[in-house]
Amino acid sequence: MDSAFLIAIVAVFIISIIFSMFGQGGGSVYTPILFLLGYATLTSISTSLVLNLITALSASIVYYRSNLVDVRFALWFVPGICLGAFLGGVAAAYVNPALLMWLFVIFLIGAGGRMIYTYWEKSAPEGACPLHYSRGMYALIVVFSFFVGIISGLLGVGGGILIVPFLIFLCRYPTKNSAGVVSFIVIFSSLFGVFGHLTSGGFDIPLIIGTAVAVIIGATIGARSMVKIPSGYIKAGFGVVLWVFALQLIIKLMQSH
């Protein structure tokens, strides 16, 4: 058992705890860590998607038991994100996502700043989940989820890092409920991203099994901790996560030139 394999297991365990607290799969960090440990790009991306899937499944169980998953609302995201994630997974072997990732950096910096600002912003307490939306909003959800799905399959991320700000700021969804809904949606984006990657291979079964055990335990711990944290801290914490991811992408993109 080599050192890279052991480091990968420890790393994904810690990451799964942190990201599941925000309804994330952790793919934004799994992929670069596995790549830096010497695993091939497609292997890193496909493994990340599998780990996203497992993390989201484990976290969703905890959120569902805490009544934080609105399945009927979440299902509006499923068709678009499934199609997009599959297409992104297929395209991953052929597309250079450099330009897309630079746009992603800009989005993450802006969304992260807005999230952190809400910690000091004086606003009314978060209310209940909205019961109905306009037809235009539902259409926007479908289109948005399709493009998030493409990014998910292409880069090996679950897509939650984009969906959470969308839910909170456009759908006016409560923060804790957003994390529950996103964990449910990420199940589908990760699953169909994996289906897309099956067309080009790149799966390392021993790596997947070893890290899968780590994320099952870590995601459960993180989701249980999140339920006990005030919404203000969750927003600020998620904003910092967005900035860290943006910095990580900038460094990676600069090194590639």
Cα separation, 135 vs 34, in Å, equals 42
Cα separation, 45 vs 65, in Å, equals 30
* pTM (two decimals): 0.78
Is residue 183 pLDDT above 80, yes or no? Answer: yes
pLDDT score of 124: 45
Q: What percent of the chain has pLDDT over 70?
A: 83
pLDDT score of 100: 63
Is residue 194 pLDDT above 80, yes or no? Answer: yes
pLDDT score of 175: 73
Say how many CA atoms lie within 13 Å of 256 toward its Cβ. Answer: 12
Among 6-10, 170-174, 228-232, 238-242, the minimum mean pLDDT is found in 228-232
- Contact predicate 108/246, CB 8 Å: yes
Cβ burial 222-246 (10 Å sphere, 16+ → b, else e) = bbbebeeeebeebbbbbbebbbebb
The residue that leads in pLDDT, 150 or 158, is 150
Is residue 47 pLDDT above 80, yes or no? Answer: yes
End-to-end CA distance of the chain: 34
Is residue 54 pLDDT above 80, yes or no? Answer: yes
**How does the average pLDDT of the chain come out, rounded?**
81
Cα separation, 51 vs 194, in Å, equals 10
pLDDT mean over 66-90: 92
pLDDT score of 17: 81
The residue that leads in pLDDT, 143 or 159, is 143
pLDDT score of 97: 58
Q: What percent of the chain has pLDDT over 90?
A: 25
pLDDT score of 110: 80
Among 19-33, 47-61, 240-254, the minimum mean pLDDT is found in 19-33
Confidence band for 209, pLDDT divided at 50, 70 and 90: very high
Please give the radius of gyration of the chain, using alpha carbons only, rounded to the nearest integer.
17
Confidence band for 122, pLDDT divided at 50, 70 and 90: low
